[in-house]
Structures are given as C-alpha cells and as structure tokens.
Chains A and B, each alone.
Chain A
Amino acid sequence: MAIKCGVFKTTYEGDEAIWQTKVSRFWIALLIVSLIAFPFIFESSRYLLYVANSVLIAVIAAIGLNILTGFTGQISLGHGAFMGVGAYASGYFMTQLGMPFIACVVAAGCVTAMVGMIFGIPSLRLKGLYLAIATLAAQVILEFVFVRWRDVTGGSQGMMVPPAKIGGLSFNGDFKFYFLALAFTLLAVLIAKNIVRTKPGRAFMAIRDRYISAEIIGVPLFQYKLISFGISSFYAGVAGSLWAHYIGIITPEHFNVMVSIQYLSMIIIGGLGSIYGSIMGAIFMTLLPEGLRLLSGLFSKQYPFLVNIFGAIRESIFGLVIILFLIFEPDGLAARWKTIKNYWKLWPFSY
C-alpha cells in the first residue's frame, strides 16, 4: 500500500485542522461512535456505566487543572474545592432559583471562575510552591465555607440536588446521564484544545517556561495568570456541577484535599501540558482504584485470611504504581503514547 511521504496542505484551514489526515479523522470518528455505542452494549451493568460517568467528569476537571498547572505552570492544590463551588452553586441555582439546567451549569461555572480568580490573586506575588500552598489555603477556606454557610450549602448535612433536565428529558440514572456527560466532555475537550493552540495558550506556555521573558515580549503576566485561573476554575465548576446532578446529594466531604491531590496526580501521570494527557490521566486514576478493588475481591476469595489487610495492600499498590510511573515515565502517559505512535508510524523502519 502506498504510504504518503508527507502531509501537504493547500488552505489555511487545512493547515490548522486538529486532525490532519484522513486516517486520523477516521479513527476519531470511530472513537466517537464507539463512545456513543458504549452504554448500549453495557446497559445492564450500572457499575460500568458509573465508572464511565466518573471518568467523563474527571476528564473535564483534569483538563481544567492541566490548563492551570500544566500549561501555565501554576501549581494548584485547590481544585477539589473549586469543584465543590461549582457543585453547590449549581444545586443552589436549581433548587432555590429554579433556573433551567444548562443555565445552572454555565452560571455555576462562571461563579467558580470568579472564585478561582479571587484565589488566583496571590499569584501576582507568589511563585512555585508558595503559590501551591496559597491554593491549599483556598481549599481549606472553601471547605470551611461549605460546612458553615448552612443556609446555602446545607452544611455537613449536605444538599440534595435534583437530576439534570433539558426540556422535558430528565437525565436521572446512569444510562441517560452518560450521554449528557459525553456531550459536555467532548465539548470541553474541543474548547480546551482550541484554547491552548491559540493566543491564550501560547501566552500561558510562555508564562510557564520563562515568565520574565514573557513579560518582556509583552505578555501581561497578571492578566493571563488570572485568565488561566478563571478558565481552570470554570472547568472545575462545570465538572462539579455535573457530579452534583449525577450523585443527587453532595456534602463537603466530596470535595476535600484528597480530591485535589487526586487531580494533581491525574495530570502529572497523564502528562503536564497536554490535553490528551489529561484524558489519559483521568482514565487511569479513575480506573486504578476500581481495578485494584476488583483484584482484591478476586484474591480474597482464594485467600480469605488476607481480607483485613487488603485495603492496606491496595493502598500500597496504589502508591507504588504512582511511584513506578514517575520513575519510569516521568513525562506521563501522553509522552509514552506519542512514542508508541511514532514507532508504528515508521515501522518497519526505526527512524
């Protein structure tokens, strides 16, 4: 079969397309079709649908965090709390103000973006790990607000959130929700991809790589840092809002610091500064505990005396997997995937 020995474009649009060859467009179309078909195949297993939905929501939030940390270089430990802001805001808008669902999600995203930008103000003065701790402060402070502002959030009792509804169609249940989540996720990925390959994205990366030089060539640092916080928090807010309408009841415990750390793990393992990496990282980190639980369930049937320490073994393996990943794959899954792809592109030649 004749393989093209290059990619030639004759129009600007052609050059700027994300998927440039017919082959890659075919694969993407196939992926989307199989994503849509997925729930029909596994309709009976609510568990699998639940895992899939969790992955989709995680992808949205992970992309958000990657924009802030991977593309702009601002380490954030507050992502869990920002999701919480989105979740509570969306629930509040729907239950107290009776807004339609889509408006709730968008409004929740905007509210979270504003909160994110407020907590991004320290980035004017703080760098690196000091900024990270300031975002940890955001996490702690927001958690405190969630628990205390009982009139709005229901405090530790939690808030009941009705399921998503568009027109007359209510998205309750794992099956129906999947399509809603899929739509949002695809949209989120597309928008993010376009952000990072245009002017804001380049500004972000400039700030990350050499911010002094960026300032010299005219990138307004503070403005773009705030925009980055805003966009990242918007994504977190949307993800949080989707989660709220899915689970039906949210408490501050859903948005604690462990969640923030989990999202940070997702993007580091997936690959910083790569949308694709966020997706892979989200999938990996969501499936890992499930996979471990599956394994321990299987093993505990064979070796019942180990049941009590299986939780501990799971935790150790979880940590070990992360450690091994970082030692052997420090650039993340996305980089490894690229390497594999390149290998196959040129096979059987090696370069």
Chain B
Amino acid sequence: MESIMQSLISGIVVGSIYALIALGFVLIYKSTAVINFAQGELLMFGAYLCLTLVVAFKVPFWIAFFTTLIAAALLGFLLERLFLRPMIGEPAISIIMLTIGLASFLQGMIHMTWGSETMVYPAIFPIEPLKFGGIVVSQVYLYSVFFAVLCLVLFNLFFRFSSSGIAMRAVANDQQAAQSMGISIKKIFAIAWAIAAVVAAVGGILIGNINGVNTSLSGFGLKVFPAVILGGLDSIPGAILGGFIIGLLEALSGIYLDPIFEGGSKEVVPFVVLVVVLMIKPYGLFGTEEIEKI
C-alpha cells in the first residue's frame, strides 16, 4: 500500500513540472492561437542560462533565477518581434511550421553556445528528501508543486481580471475584431511570448536541477503535449490539471501496466487515455468549444 502511495505522490510531483511546461503552451495558444513547438527550446535556454550564471559567474541562485527570468522574457520579446510579427494573419499551420523551424534554430544556437556536454547544477535545493510518514519526496519537487500552483492562481486571475489578460483572450478569439476595438495585437503577442518564455525557463531550471542539463532537454516539449490537449488548448486550469493527471497516469501505468507489458507503458498510456478522453470531450477537459458558423 505504501509503495503505491509513494508512486502516486511521485507521479503528482513529476506532474507539477509537466503542468508548468504545459502552461507555457497554453499561454501562447490562448493569446495567439498558435502551438509553439519551440517551447522545449525555451525551457532549455532557461536551464542553461541559470546554470551558467550560478557555476561560471558564481552568482547566488536566487539572483541567477530572477535574472534568467528577465532574460527569458527578453528572448520572448525578441522572438516575437523577429519571427512572429511578419506572420500575423497567416494561417495557423504556417505559424506552427515556423515554430518548428524556430525550434531547430534555437536548438542549434543553444548548442553552439553551450556545447553538447551534460552540465550539472550544484546542489541548490537541499538533497535530503522530506519524509511524510513512509513517503519520501525530494525537496526540488516541492518547489515545483509550489510554483505550479502559484502560476495557476496568478494566471487565472490575470486572464480573468486584468485588462491585458482580457485583451489577450480577445485577440485569440478574433484578431480583426480585437484590432477594431483598439487593442494592439503586437503588444499582446509580445507579452504572451515573454510570459511563456518565463514559465518555460522556470520549468527548465527545475528539470535541470533534477536531471542535469543537456540538449536533449527540449524533448520535454513534445512529451507534454498530451497534458496540454487533455486540459484543453486554451484553458489555464486545464493545462495545470492536465500536467498533474499525466504525471499520475504515468505513475499508475508504472504500477499496474509495467509488470504486464514488461515496462515502457509510461510513454504510451497518456496518449491512449488522451484519445479516449478526446472522443468524449473533443475540446479537452476544459477547453472552450468552438462554435462554428457559416
């Protein structure tokens, strides 16, 4: 019984990291109706930058952390200005393809700057895991759960009540109508990308702490897709919840299905569940249903 609890708790805390990454996807989609295939690379950027600041420049972690966030925001602004701005008005699939190209480009650039060696974070978070009854949890994960929940609350409020947030939702819904209401599309896009980059950076730093940093980190981008879709492409609570659910599913399949399939079911099960859920709820658990008109 205890080992099941342990697995489940592990699943949830891993899920919190997925939740953070999923959030980045949803943020961009919610404001620009674009799926950003380069989210994984933004994640890597945050991980690498923070690591370099801490190790090479001996900056204390929290200062490095916030500096990285600011740098990530700037990167988001830059990318939007250079690459996304010319694409306003183009069909979604072209923009998605652009982000795929962007992913390659960023991957190459990061590689050039930091090389291909796996780099390791010095112990930022205390190594000693916390024990709750019989359950053990690394402290890193506690921080990630905390961040995930914090982001959930913050962004939900942001999109619901702040004028920028409402403006972003308007732009995602109908660019032309939003423009005719006086909303500056360019500004909105820039903000969206900056925030997404920041959230990705946080996720990257956390993953870097757990697993070390190297160029394969960008694979997390794709891994998180089921979480994004499960929750609904344009729902913030959906993304966070989706992340946790995927983490749980992985843990459950680890406990129950791995012994049958001789392992490896963790990768597949989230996708299978995803398809089943989508057949019942075609827009994800919390996504807004598109009402089509002729």
A contacts, CB < 8 Å to B: 69, 75, 122, 125-130, 133-134, 136-137, 140-141, 144, 147-148, 210, 212-213, 257, 261, 264-265, 268-269, 272, 308-309, 311-323, 325-327, 330
Q: Is the CB of A268 within 8 A of B268?
A: no
Q: Is the CB of B98 within 8 A of A327?
A: yes
Query: Measured between alpha carbons, how far is A319 from B99 in the docked complex, in Å?
Result: 9
Tell me if B109 is interfacial: C-beta within 8 Å of chain A. Answer: yes
Query: Measured between alpha carbons, how far is A318 from B107 in the docked complex, in Å?
Result: 11
Instruction: Please name all residues of chain A whose beta carbon is closer than 8 Å to the beta carbon of B233 when the two chains form the complex.
Output: 129-130
Q: Is the CB of B108 within 8 A of A330?
A: no
B113 — nearest CB in chain A belongs to which residue?
A312
Q: Is the CB of B102 within 8 A of A314?
A: no
> Known contacts A125-B279, A311-B111; is A133 also within 8 Å of B264 by CB?
no
B contacts, CB < 8 Å to A: 35, 83, 86-87, 90-95, 97-98, 100-109, 111-112, 115, 222, 225-226, 228-229, 233, 261, 264, 267-268, 271-272, 274-275, 278-279, 282-284, 287, 290, 292, 294
B261 — nearest CB in chain A belongs to which residue?
A148
Q: Is the CB of B111 within 8 A of A319?
A: no
Q: How far is the CB of B210 from chain A (nearest CB, A)?
A: 23
Instruction: Give 16 pairs: A residue, B residue, CB < 8 Å, sorted on A.
Output: A69-B93, A127-B282, A133-B228, A133-B274, A134-B275, A137-B272, A140-B271, A141-B271, A268-B97, A312-B108, A315-B107, A315-B108, A316-B108, A319-B105, A323-B105, A326-B98
Q: How far is the CB of A122 from chain B (nearest CB, A)?
A: 6
Q: How far is the CB of A182 from chain B (nearest CB, A)?
A: 29
Instruction: Please name all residues of chain A whose beta carbon is closer than 8 Å to the beta carbon of B283 when the two chains form the complex.
Output: 130
Determine chain A's interface SS by DSSP, over half rule.
Answer: helix
Q: Which of B108, B228, B275, B290 is A319 in contact with, Cβ under 8 Å?
A: B108
Q: How far is the CB of B129 from chain A (nearest CB, A)?
A: 32
Tally of contacts, chain A with chain B, CB under 8 A: 133
Q: Is the CB of B93 within 8 A of A319?
A: no
Instruction: Please name all residues of chain B whose beta carbon is closer than 8 Å to the beta carbon of A257 when the two chains form the complex.
Output: 222
Sample of 4 more A-B contacts, CB < 8 Å, known A133-B225, A313-B112, A319-B103: A122-B275, A269-B97, A315-B105, A323-B102
Q: How far is the CB of B89 from chain A (nearest CB, A)?
A: 10
Q: Which of B90, B226, B287 is A330 in contact with, Cβ under 8 Å?
A: B90
Q: How far is the CB of A198 from chain B (nearest CB, A)?
A: 25
Q: Is the CB of B35 within 8 A of A322?
A: no
Determine chain B's interface SS by DSSP, over half rule.
Answer: helix
Query: Measured between alpha carbons, how far is A323 from B84 in the docked complex, in Å?
Result: 10
Q: Is the CB of A136 within 8 A of B225?
A: yes
Ranked 7 nearest A-B pairs via Cβ: A316-B108, A319-B105, A319-B104, A322-B101, A315-B108, A312-B111, A137-B271
Q: Is the CB of B275 within 8 A of A137?
A: yes
Query: Measured between alpha carbons, how far is A126 from B230 in the docked complex, in Å?
Result: 13
Q: Is the CB of A326 within 8 A of B264?
A: no
Instruction: Please name all residues of chain A whose beta carbon is closer than 8 Å to the beta carbon of B35 when the two chains form the complex.
Output: 129
Q: How far is the CB of A205 from chain B (nearest CB, A)?
A: 15
Instruction: Please name all residues of chain B whose beta carbon is closer than 8 Å to the beta carbon of A130 when the two chains form the complex.
Output: 229, 233, 278, 282-284, 287
Query: Measured between alpha carbons, how far is A265 from B229 in the docked complex, in Å?
Result: 22
Q: How far is the CB of A67 from chain B (nearest CB, A)?
A: 15
Instruction: Please name all residues of chain A whose beta carbon is closer than 8 Å to the beta carbon of B226 when the two chains form the complex.
Output: 133, 137
> Known contacts A122-B278, A257-B222, A265-B100; is A319 also within 8 Å of B107 by CB?
yes
Q: Is the CB of A318 within 8 A of B267?
A: no
Instruction: Please name all residues of chain A whose beta carbon is closer than 8 Å to the beta carbon of B229 when the two chains form the complex.
Output: 129-130, 133
Q: Is the CB of A125 within 8 A of B282?
A: yes
Q: Is the CB of A212 within 8 A of B292?
A: yes
Q: Is the CB of A144 within 8 A of B87?
A: no
Query: Measured between alpha carbons, how far is A326 from B91 in the docked complex, in Å?
Result: 11
Instruction: Please name all residues of chain A whose beta carbon is closer than 8 Å to the beta carbon of B261 when the two chains form the complex.
Output: 148
> Known contacts A125-B282, A265-B97; is A316 also within 8 Å of B274 by CB?
no
Query: Measured between alpha carbons, how far is A322 from B102 in the docked complex, in Å?
Result: 8
Q: How far is the CB of A267 from chain B (nearest CB, A)?
A: 9
B290 — nearest CB in chain A belongs to which residue?
A127
Instruction: Please name all residues of chain B whose beta carbon is closer than 8 Å to the beta carbon of A261 when the two chains form the complex.
Output: 100
